[in-house]
Structure 1
Amino acid sequence: MDHQAEGSEGRLLRRSQDEEGHRRRDSEDVDAVESQSKPLLTPVETHTTIDSYDGPSEELPKDSIKWWKRPSILILLPPFLLYATALGAAAVPRVNLVLTLVCQDYLNRKEREVTHGDFTPIKLVLGADNPECEIPEVGAHAATFTLYMNIITGILSAIISPRLGQYSDRIGRRKLLILGSFGACLCEITLILCLKFSDQISYWWLLLASAFEGLVGAFTLILALVHSYASDCTTFEKRSSAFSLFHGCLFLGIAIGPAIGGFAIEKTDDIAVVFYGVVVVHVIFMSYILFVLPESLSKAKMKLAEEKFAEEMRKSSDSASWLSNFRVLNVFEPLNVLWPTEGGNLTKLRTNMIMLAAIDFIMFGVGFGSITVILLYSKIEFHWTTKFASYYTSFVNASRVVGLFVILPLLTRFFRKKPQPGAPVGGCDHLDTLIIRGALTTEVLGTSFFFIARDTPLFMAGGLIASLGGLGSPTIQSSLTKHSPSDKTGQLLGVIALLHSLARVIGPTAFNGIYSETAKTYPQAVFIVLVALFMVAWLGAWFITPYVAVDGVGDEAVERLFSEERGELDESEPLVGRN
């Protein structure tokens, strides 16, 4: 009897331990699900911690939190629009300034060679349309020098951006936004010095301006940090809409900025006024971030990211490989974030992340690299004036703004099913994949119009159709954040900034080279290459699997989501209870 009693007690003890283990695993699964399905900064129902609060760190009632103390994309959108407008305003004057400075140096050298001694320098109007500079030799020198500037900025940004993006997960977004704007401000100040003291300061100092911009990650990092901030403040189902608002502000600024810059130059007859204005905008932007914008990451999340980073460093230092000591020199080492080693569905998860990053790289590289080619082609083939080309640029960017501000939010509102409370959210959904494939389809179609167009209306129609491809980039980047833990958002988007920096170098170099080699024989060849690249990206989009779960959410949850979409589940039945 005693042995039977002991056996019965042992079975009861083991059963109790098994039940406790199941409860613990279920709790961990729910925590993993909630970490990806809840807003990254959703306050608890009763209390929340305000990290930007100047007083002691304490739990404050939600009702006592002022709206300007709560992180929100609506607080960041106005200064970002101002920042983007300043970039657009300075774009054309910067090109003209570089061209004039290179031209001035070229003419001075030619004059010295002719006189073999003292000479009177030719004084050009810096930034203006100087007929003396409209010669192939000056154009070639200016194009080469601009390429040097892009290479310096791109390479430095590729090295720095992912490190700073990862660092933002540990110290917050605000400090690095200020740093990025400060580096860009130094770049503009260097441009002003070269403009005002062109006789004493060589235009080669503009390479230093490019270095200032690259050392803080350039605009690609600013955009990545803005997206990181949006990721911290939004739920998964609203993230693509949030990203589209920032992309819309970017294109809106690029569209209206040149008009504002041109008006300022016309009224003052001084190109320097634009760069003065850009410096003022940087000061306003940094002041706003410092004194107004609340931090989007809580101290708890920053501490968690710091602990995970320290653990990774400890494991790396324990490695026997001597190569581990040189990790910091490896530019591509941060790309490991696209190749996760933990969690469920690793094969599909890795495939999705690689495909999304590759598609984004192609779209950004083609978009950035083809701008100059499109404008040169239209000027030579259709004899567009500078004014008409500006109208075309504004027309295309305005259509992108409509797509990002109107079409994408409407698609999200009416066609994205709101998840049930507690539903496991993993990866992108069907709407994300449809938008990405549709955007690439419009890019292929619009670029095909460029190839076949022999008159201005058809060419402009191609630009209008291709502009709808702008819906793809914010959707891709928001989808990527859905495949990664929240404590790695900054690192992930820093890697995207790295890829954008590389595309910023590779795209213009490749497409300008192709066009220069084929301009006399078959100028449409470059558009064939563009169509081919978009077709590759379009095919890659079909390898993206919706609902690839993150943080251990298994295949059963994915199948459950598919079943719900097919109508096999009761809509009223909660999938997973959430507190």
Structure 2
Amino acid sequence: MDSPAEGSEGRLSRQAKDEEEGEGFRRDRGSEDVDEIESQSKPLLAPAETEITVDFDNGETVELPADGLKWWNRPSILILLPPFILYATALGAAAVPRVNMVLTLICQDYLNRKEREARGGDFTPIQLVLGADNPECEIPEIGAQAAKFTLYTHIITGTLSAITSPRLGQYSDRIGRRKILMIGAFGACLCETTLILCLKFPDHISYWWILLASAFEGSVGAFALILAVVHSYASDCTSFAKRSSAFSLFHGFLFLGIAVGPAIGGFAIDKTDDITVVFYGIVCVYLIFITYVLFILPESLSEEKMKLANEKFEEESLKSAGRTRWFDHVLKIVNVFKPLNVLWPEGENLTKVRVNMILLAALDFFMFGIGFGSITVVLLYSKVEFHWTTKFASYYTSMVNAARVVGLFIILPLIGRLFRKKPKPGDPIGGCDSLDTFIIRAALTTEVLGAIFYFIARGTPLFVVGGIVAALGGVGSPTIQSSLTKHSPSNKTGQLLGVIALLHSLARVIGPAAFNGIYAKTAKTYPQAVFIVLIALFMVAWVGSWFVTPHIAVDGVDDEAVERLFAEERGELDESEPLVGRS
């Protein structure tokens, strides 16, 4: 047996060795993390046949055999991409027909009411073709009513989604990602089915039932939950270093699907003269999505991880049982702001870090809220002012999203390759760099220019140019989110992305409420007022972007984050933490 002195010296020696190795690991990771070009040139996933090599502290090396699973049984983002692209395409295909459907149903109700109020044959009855382009509906009064009704749908969907998304995302830790994906797709399928019933039986089913469709969509988390769970699945089956590349891949294909979807929808409407066929196709896509997830997509979480998550949940439930009142449970459920504390890291001398994180989160909230909130108003405005057909509006939406895809797949990587300086080994990692802040400010500049084109346009060509210019500002959102993660320890990346998803859900309520409300009030008198507000808000965001300080981050390297990286190399890392905020 070693003497106490020898034992103490041994422990000190091992500690010094560990610190030396840890310091070398930090330097290596610092160089690797900032080398984004090199990291994105490597594959996201190792081949299925690759054996895992584990190095133990005593110098022994053991090669573990592969798990023997065929590639189609192995969780992979490549297997998840096909249904996700279908889902994104369905989202894009539904955008314009939904606006046209709401406008037509409200228009028919408006004309029927005018007919009932008319006396002595002063009003000629008009029967609209539901879903078609009806010139009788292209008047400011109906546009204002449609904007107000669309506002109600966004409030219902966004509010319910903000409440349910974090909870369902946390639940995916305990029952698996696949089941939550199917629940989300099933809710979307119920939503589209309700819309079809409103279109097919307008005399028996009021257009107010569309609010029920919004409730179906929001109660299962809507789009925010699907995207968050997709990110969680990607986290489960990609390495820690390559996770950001996986997220970028899904975002790129998301906008690609949204760009292609409206063109497909416009083509189908042009060939059939029936808007209902688009909603039938969307329902079929959701059913294919559910079938694919049920029978083909492998579960990314192991039984052990789900069992551990259930045990932790039961343990936490037992600790709080008996000392929490029932209304405290209710308050905990509806408190959607609790996860935001990740934007206020604890510690001393972190004022600039907190300011940066709050500003970046606010900028992302602004850009998503303004972009999402103005979509419906832009389509309604163009319908009333320029008399766009559903077909042309679909093609316009495709062009705008295609410009966004060009920005994400070509312009943004090209800027990084040409202007981002390649770091030297040992260089510190310090928050977002000067190129990040330049891209954010440039993106906001294009958003301002696009809004100015909207405002001054008195014809279709300039209005379309405005949409394309504004779409190039889409490079700002992924840059902002990437910059946010650079201000936080790596072990909190999932929680931080969850807060972004939560903010997007809230923006889905506030953005449409503001813009649809403004347009509803000014459609008869000065419809361009909404674009003045758009310009002013983007200018505020642009000014705010100049207060973001580059090369600011939490001092030092988080020891827990380093241990997390070591654990991943050893294959011991539990990555079941959901990407949506916990309650």
> If the length of structure 2 is used for normalisation, what is the TM-score?
0.76
Counterpart check, 1:477 vs 2:477: no
Aligned partner of 2:405 in structure 1 is 401
Alpha carbons of structure 1 residues 378 and 550: separation in structure 2 relative to 1, 3 Å: farther
Is the CA contact 1:338–1:354 (under 8 Å) kept in the aligned structure 2? yes
**Distance in 2, Cα, partners of 1:114 & 1:377:** 29
Q: What's the counterpart of residue 360 of structure 1?
A: 364
Q: 1:327 to 1:23 in 2, by over 3 A?
A: farther
1:96, CA displacement in angstroms? 2.5
Q: Does 1:287 align with 2:287?
A: no
Deviations 1:414-468 (A, max 9, x none): 6667889999978656654443343233323433444556666555444333222
Is 1:447 aligned to residue 451 of structure 2? yes
CA distance in 2, matches of 1:62, 1:434: 45
Distance 1:211 1:324 in 2: 25
Q: Which of 228, 232, 257 is residue 224 of structure 1 equivalent to?
A: 228
The answer for the alignment partner of 1:3 in structure 2 is: none
Say yes or no: does 1:333 pair with 2:338.
yes
Distance of aligned partners of 1:388 and 1:356 in 2 relative to their CA distance in 1, 3 Å threshold: same
Match of residue 562 from structure 1: none
Aligned to 1:274: 278
Unaligned 5+ segments in structure 1 are 1-8, 49-58, 558-577
- Greater shift in the superposed pair: 289-298 or 484-493: 484-493
Does structure 1 retain, via aligned residues, the 8 Å contact 2:487–2:552?
Answer: no
- 1:316·1:324 contact (CA, 8 Å) conserved in 2? no
Q: TM-score, normalised by structure 1?
A: 0.76
Q: Are 1:100 and 2:113 matched, yes or no?
A: no
Partner residue in 2 for 1:504: 508
Task: Answer yes or no: is 1:543 the counterpart of 2:544.
Answer: no
Match of 1:55 in 2: none
Cα drift, residue 470 of structure 1: 0.9
Give a deviation string over 1:248-277, Cα, whole Å, max 9, x none: 333333333223223323333433222111
Once the two structures are TM-superposed, the CA of residue 230 in structure 1 deviates from its matched residue by: 3.6
The one-letter code sitting in structure 2 at the alignment partner of 1:334 is: P
Q: Structure 2 residue aligned with 1:534, among 531, 538, 558?
A: 538
With over 3 angstroms needed to count, the CA separation of the structure-2 counterparts of 1:415 and 1:396, relative to structure 1, is: same
- Bigger mean CA deviation after superposition, 104-113 or 156-165: 104-113
User: Structure 1 residue 252 and structure 2 residue 256: aligned?
Assistant: yes
1:357-397 CA-to-partner distances (Å, cap 9, x unmatched) read 22111111111122234345556666766655544433222
Shift of 1:162: 2.0
CA RMSD of aligned residues (A): 4.7
Match of 2:59 in 1: none
For 2:543 and 2:332, the matched residues in 1 are separated by: 34
Give, in angstroms, the shift of residue 147 of structure 1: 1.7
Q: Which whole-Å CA distance do the structure 1 matches of 2:479 and 2:243 have between them? A: 8
Distance 2:171 2:526 in 1: 48
Q: How many residues align?
A: 541
Q: Deviation per CA, 1:23-54, whole angstroms, max 9, x where unpaired? A: 56778889999899699987997349xxxxxx
What is the rounded CA distance, in whole Å, between the counterparts of 1:78 and 1:269 in structure 2?
29
CA distance, structure 2, for counterparts of residue 303 and residue 430 of structure 1: 45
Q: Which moved more, 1:381-390 or 1:291-300?
A: 381-390
Displacement of 1:221:
1.9
CA contact (8 A) 1:225 1:490 kept: no
Distance 1:297-1:488 versus aligned 2 partners, 3 A rule: farther
Q: Is the 8 A contact 1:152 1:211 kept in 2?
A: yes
Once the two structures are TM-superposed, the CA of residue 519 in structure 1 deviates from its matched residue by 5.8
Match of 1:177 in 2: 181
Is 1:374 the equivalent of 2:378?
A: yes
Structure 1 residues 296 and 538, CA gap change in structure 2 (3 angstroms): farther
Change (3 A) 1:460 1:114: closer
Tell me, in whole angstroms, the C-alpha distance in 2 between the residues paired with 1:315 and 1:296: 29
**Separation in 1 of the partners of 2:306 and 2:467?**
43
Distance (Å, rounded) in 2 between the aligned partners of 1:62 and 1:146:
53
In structure 2, runs of 5+ residues without a counterpart are: 34-38, 54-62, 563-568, 571-583
Q: CA offset at residue 219 of structure 1?
A: 1.2
* Matched ranges for 1:318-329 at <5 A: 325=329, 326-329=331-334
Matched to 2:260, the amino acid is I
Cα distance between partner residues in 2 of 1:77 and 1:366? 28
Distance in 1, Cα, partners of 2:208 & 2:380: 25
Contact kept in structure 1, 2:259 and 2:402, CA below 8 Å: yes
Distance 1:162 1:486, change over 3 A: farther
